[in-house]
Amino acid sequence: MPEHEKVNYLELPAADLEQEKAFFNALFGWQFQDYGPDYVAFSGAGIDGGFYRSNNQARTAQGSALIVFYSESLEQTLSKVEACGGSIIQDIFEFPGGRRFHFTDPNGNEFAVWSDRP
């Protein structure tokens, strides 16, 4: 049941929806439901959402919000991102409370992964 006035769903752009589905399924095991040729919903990500067909990209340099994943093994997740076709745009760095890195998916959307484990 959705919670009143809580974040419930995310929508992100992707020029190639099939590529996006393959990437996130291989990387994190997300499941997908197609809704026509221009939209695909995802689940299994901690919050449900979808990708809509667009040539735009969600990047912090363009003012986009940053979606941050948690990992118990930052180096392992970084290796998985690269193996699945993502690009590391900021290598692992420390910040108060942990460490993180930033990557882009094959469609150019920016994400980050953080961990509080050494």
- pLDDT per residue over 18-48, tens digit each? 999 999 999 999 999 999 999 999 999 999 9
Q: Are 81 and 92 contacting, i.e. CB atoms less than 8 angstroms apart?
A: no
Look up residue 40 and give its amino acid: V
Confirm whether 31 is domain-assigned. Answer: yes
Q: Are 111 and 69 in contact (CB under 8 A)?
A: yes
Cα separation of 118 and 112, whole Å? 17
Residue 2 confidence (pLDDT): 87
Does any domain span residue 4? Answer: no
Structural domain includes residue 3: no
| Greatest pairwise CA separation for the chain in angstroms | 43
Q: What is the CATH number of the domain that holds 40?
A: 3.10.180.10
Q: Could you tell me the residue range of the domain that residue 107 belongs to?
A: 10-115
Strand-pairing partners, residue 29, are none
Q: How far apart are CA 54 and CA 98, in angstroms?
A: 34
Confidence of residue 1 (pLDDT cuts 50, 70, 90): confident
In a domain, 48, yes or no: yes
Q: What pTM did the predictor assign?
A: 0.95
Token pair 């419930």 is at which residue? 8
- With tokens 């690269």, the residue in question is 82
- The structural domain count of the chain equals 1
Name the token pair of 59.
């990047």
Q: Is the pLDDT reported for residue 70 higher than 90?
A: yes
Residue 15: alpha-carbon gap to chain centroid: 15
Residue indicated by tokens 């095991």: 29
Residue 50 has pLDDT above 90, yes or no: yes
